[in-house]
Structure 1
Amino acid sequence: MEFNLTKGLDLSLEGEITNQDLPNEKNLTSRVALLGTDFHGIRPTMFVAEGQEVKQGEKLFEDKKNPGYSHLSPINGKIIEINRGDRRSFLSMVIEKNDDENSFEVDTTFEKSSDQVLNFLNDYGLLGLFRTRPFSKVPMVGSLPNKIFISLIDSNPLSFEPKIIIEDNLEAFNKGLELISYLPNDGVHLGISNDDLELFSSHNINYHKFNGPHPIGLVGTQIHKISPASLTNQIWTIGYQEIIKIGKTLISGYLSNEKYISISGPQVFDPEIVMTNYGACVEELTAGKLLEGENRIISGSVLCGHICEGPKAYLSNFSNQISVIREVNKDDREFLNWLRPEIRKHSSLRMFLTSIFKNYKYNLTSAINGGFRAIVPVGVYEEIFPMNLMITQLLKAIVTEDTELAQTLGVLELDEEDLALCTYSCPSKYDYGLILRNILEKIEKDG
């Protein structure tokens, strides 16, 4: 099946990776962290304390809302920080490593059935690599999905081509793909941009070709076109690098903990791809690689990543990139800048002269270029949002916390990243991702 989408926005920035060769050496950091933002709504029961030595694979904490699934230590090391925020919400757990060994042995001799595969993933902390739709949470222990979706397309700004990672780890990818194919009732669905990869084939695996601008690579876009998620259609999603992690674990018999990421953006000297740990320390990864001045370091895309600072200055488990842009302050404000025929700035509404230059690369900063105001229905969301939803009405519903209307309009299909372009293009300067998360939590709690 092939889908050709026209709605969306490809944002071309300075600092793209020109050399997409994979590194020969690993860039492993001395500290790694498990981030609370990777596990929405988690209420951890701690099994360890600060100062305690832990081994790779040792249980660190369990979610009170999902008993039976424990988060395991990714490395051998020492717990140096357990950080909490408002109302004791879990922010991060930081581990200082003792060595680089993957020493946690995994039993790979089990029957290939849905129950046994689920037990394997649960026992070795791999169930947390999946996310559910609706709500984007770790699947409940014992549950099974109707379908699993994997996107082999990365259309985010400054991203690299997933194909080069998959080709270099094809055996591991196919091994992981074969394993998870036992889980869903209605198959595994992969979104691809080309069909020249020798991927695992089975009656339970379906390939769908997607073409178009960002957010064509987001798994939410692909789910919407094939089988929209709902309370009665439970979907699981997983990233292609997480499939490789499962495959490497199966092949080696040891828990794998490495992944490829890019370090790129307008404030990066020499954008590159590096191989590092899951949860790596971003400060160590970017040391000596950034331009002088105040920079905003982002784990993930510039459109939908988390700012790396304080207790959260670590790589998200679900990020394949670190993006760096310049942090602006009050001294950077320009008088009536929106009236100028700019040749350096980007506008989704095509207000500047740069809209006539198709291949222009922008040096975007953290400036939002305006103040907060009521939602203005000027049609900008409809131009860049590819799902067949009444997007302006849906955004108004989540801003006003009308949960019934929001559910009718399709809010349960969405994750924060699905609204990232709406946030970027919003004349009213709303952070729709944050608002969406609050609404989803309210719906999950109250219905």
Structure 2
Amino acid sequence: MRSSFEKGFSYGCCRLALFTKNSSNSLILCDYDINKTRNLLSTFALSKLRFTNYRYMAKVMRIKKGLSLNLKGKAPEERLRPLSPSSTYAVVPDDYPGLLPKLMVREGDRVLAGSPLMYHKGAEELVFTSPVSGEVLSINRGAKRKILSIEIKPDATIEYAPFDISRAANLPADQLRNLLLSSGMWSLLRQRPFDRIADLRQTPRDIFVTAHFTAPLAPRCAYMLAGREAELQAGLSALAKLTQGKVYVAVEPGAFPNLKEVERVEVSGPHPAGLCGTLINKIAPVNKGEMVWTLKATDAAVIGRFLLTGKTDFSRPVALTGSDAAQHGYTELLPGCRVREVFADALCVRKEHERVICGDVLTGRKLDDSNPFFPQGCDQITVIPEGDDVNEFFGWATPGFGKLSHSRSFFSWMSPKSREYVVDARVKGGERAMIMSNEYDRVFALNILPEYLLKAIIAFDIPKMEDLGIYEVAPEDFALCEFVDTSKIEIQHIVRQGLDLLYKEIN
């Protein structure tokens, strides 16, 4: 803790904080040489300061534009009781944007955890592996024989495919890349532009990792990875070998102070402060011809655990949140499990009129009978009312003291900021024409004109899309715009289509 005496000043790009602690003067340095700083301090008649305690400070990024939705149902920092086993696990191709799957197994085949199930049509080295050992139970197909899922009946005890990780810490970049590809760990990496699985043929300019989740009811990453710092560091150290630039890690203030081989960025402010797109836009925007990677810190920890143990264990801490969740807290889930089977009666308060979302309420995927599996890379399950059993007569004309509204349509804007709201899944209106009222810009933190970019995407005007910043955005960056949009336009879907069409046009 700092004492009452605290002083800060700036010199060029260097920020120093001077303070006393236990009657002894200490100095915190930020990216500046100690000898130069000592000379600088003597100029300010502070030469008697003792350099007894110094450390490097992280960059600080404060986001002002955005919107934090204070919803009911946050997960307390406690563990849930043991869960029920899942009868089957599945790998779903639609969980990986841009994937063109080709099967490598048949029904009835025996597989180990880490055995390849399918590969990407454009790159046979990019394989997607089984989360468990067992028997391939079924390969489910849809229209035009599209692969919907590969289901596996798990063994009582999981057996892992062997991988040689004896020299993983000293592997050169090309061999490390091959190890991540053959183990299926590459599927955790995303690239900008196009927000799809990272291109294995290109080296990223930089890598951006987010360890600070700011979405509604988002879990606290520092708690999720408590005790797993070694796994996180191993993953980040491996990523640092795969880029010629830097690995930027966005953290909440004070979290993960001992990370090495990366550049910590302490972020604060409303959502979308914790998104990789915000970090990219504020630190090093992506220009045409450049490519960066993005991932979550929990994904980096999964990679690190594989490099330390040799096991392709994709399990991760997950938060159960939402106003209609039967319990709230953290648990460990393996991607591909059947969510309703695993949680059983502990998932929902009621048995009907509820929506279970894998992810947050802004960007998550609805859990239904057609896809009941927990997706890869997800850290949160949200349960809210569906709203299909609610009938309001002239609901828009009521005072709405308990209704969440960003536009001050209801008197709830007079409530204290600490108030928690219960929201449901109703859209409350049909799609209308886009209104240029600057409502997107109020919550859009990126240095981009969202309305004009959306119009360019709809018109598929490639030069304008490039000029307006299409290469550094992802659908999640527009989630708040979709939430506040009075026109009820599916903005994230438009951005996703635009990115996919642009990728096909260029490639």
Range class of TM-score, shorter chain: over 0.9
Label 1:87 to 1:223 Cα distance change in 2 as closer, same or farther (>3 A). Answer: farther
1: distance between equivalents of 2:281 and 2:440? 17
Residue 103 in 1 paired to residue 160 in 2?
Answer: yes
Equivalent position to 1:246, from 277, 281, 303? 303
- Tell me the number of residue pairs that the alignment of Structure 1 and Structure 2 aligns: 443
Q: Deviations over 1:139-164 (max 9, x none)?
A: 23343211111001000111221001
Q: Which has the higher contact order (CA 8 A, sep 6+)?
A: 1
Q: Which amino acid aligns with 2:395?
A: N
1: distance between equivalents of 2:255 and 2:318? 23
Equivalent position to 2:235, from 165, 171, 176? 176
Label 1:86 to 1:405 Cα distance change in 2 as closer, same or farther (>3 A). Answer: farther
Residue 9 in 1 paired to residue 67 in 2?
Answer: yes
Q: Deviations over 1:277-305 (max 9, x none)?
A: 12221112332021212211111111001
Label 1:366 to 1:26 Cα distance change in 2 as closer, same or farther (>3 A). Answer: closer
1: distance between equivalents of 2:270 and 2:264? 19
2: distance between equivalents of 1:366 and 1:5? 28
- Give the C-alpha shift of residue 27 in structure 1: 6.0
Pairing 1:214-229 to 2, within 5 Å after superposition: 214-229=271-286
Residue 368 in 1 paired to residue 411 in 2?
Answer: no
- Give the C-alpha shift of residue 324 in structure 1: 1.1
1: distance between equivalents of 2:287 and 2:69? 30
- Give the C-alpha shift of residue 25 in structure 1: 5.2
- Give the C-alpha shift of residue 24 in structure 1: 8.0
- Give the C-alpha shift of residue 67 in structure 1: 2.4
Q: Which amino acid aligns with 1:3?
A: M
Compare 8-17 and 47-56 and name the one that shifted more. 47-56
Q: Which residue of 2 aligns with 1:308?
A: 367
- Give the C-alpha shift of residue 28 in structure 1: 5.0
Which structure: larger Rg? 2
Q: Deviations over 1:90-144 (max 9, x none)?
A: 3322222113425222211344321121111112111111001111222233432
Q: Which amino acid aligns with 1:128?
A: S
CA contact (8 A) 2:119 2:127 kept: yes
> Which TM-score applies when normalising by structure 2?
0.83
Residue 338 in 1 paired to residue 384 in 2?
Answer: no
Question: 1:21 is paired with a residue of what secondary structure?
Answer: coil
Question: 1:95 is paired with a residue of what secondary structure?
Answer: strand
Q: Which amino acid aligns with 1:64?
A: K
Equivalent position to 2:484, from 425, 428, 441? 425
- Give the C-alpha shift of residue 249 in structure 1: 1.6
Q: Which amino acid aligns with 1:158?
A: L
CA contact (8 A) 2:235 2:304 kept: yes
1: distance between equivalents of 2:102 and 2:144? 15
Q: Which residue of 2 aligns with 1:211?
A: 268
Equivalent position to 2:97, from 13, 36, 40? 40
2: distance between equivalents of 1:338 and 1:403? 40
Label 1:88 to 1:398 Cα distance change in 2 as closer, same or farther (>3 A). Answer: farther
Q: Which runs of 5+ in 2 are unaligned?
A: 1-58
- Give the C-alpha shift of residue 51 in structure 1: 3.3
Q: Which amino acid aligns with 1:188?
A: V
Residue 85 in 1 paired to residue 85 in 2?
Answer: no
Equivalent position to 2:119, from 25, 46, 62? 62
1: distance between equivalents of 2:157 and 2:322? 29
Equivalent position to 1:116, from 138, 152, 175? 175
Label 1:120 to 1:87 Cα distance change in 2 as closer, same or farther (>3 A). Answer: same
Determine what percentage of the aligned residue pairs are the same residue: 27
Q: Deviations over 1:390-417 (max 9, x none)?
A: 1121222223433332222112211111
Label 1:403 to 1:86 Cα distance change in 2 as closer, same or farther (>3 A). Answer: farther
Q: Which residue of 1 aligns with 2:28?
A: none
Q: CA RMSD in A?
A: 1.8
- Give the C-alpha shift of residue 207 in structure 1: 1.2
Q: Deviations over 1:196-231 (max 9, x none)?
A: 4243313xx211121100011111111111112244
Q: Which amino acid aligns with 1:355?
A: W
- Give the C-alpha shift of residue 434 in structure 1: 1.1
Q: Which residue of 1 aligns with 2:294?
A: 237
Residue 167 in 1 paired to residue 226 in 2?
Answer: yes
Compare 97-106 and 347-356 and name the one that shifted more. 97-106
Residue 276 in 1 paired to residue 333 in 2?
Answer: yes
Q: Which amino acid aligns with 1:216?
A: A
Question: 2:184 is paired with a residue of what secondary structure?
Answer: coil
Pairing 1:116-195 to 2, within 5 Å after superposition: 116-195=175-254
> Which TM-score applies when normalising by structure 1?
0.94
Label 1:26 to 1:335 Cα distance change in 2 as closer, same or farther (>3 A). Answer: closer
Label 1:440 to 1:396 Cα distance change in 2 as closer, same or farther (>3 A). Answer: same
Label 1:400 to 1:26 Cα distance change in 2 as closer, same or farther (>3 A). Answer: same
CA contact (8 A) 2:114 2:161 kept: yes
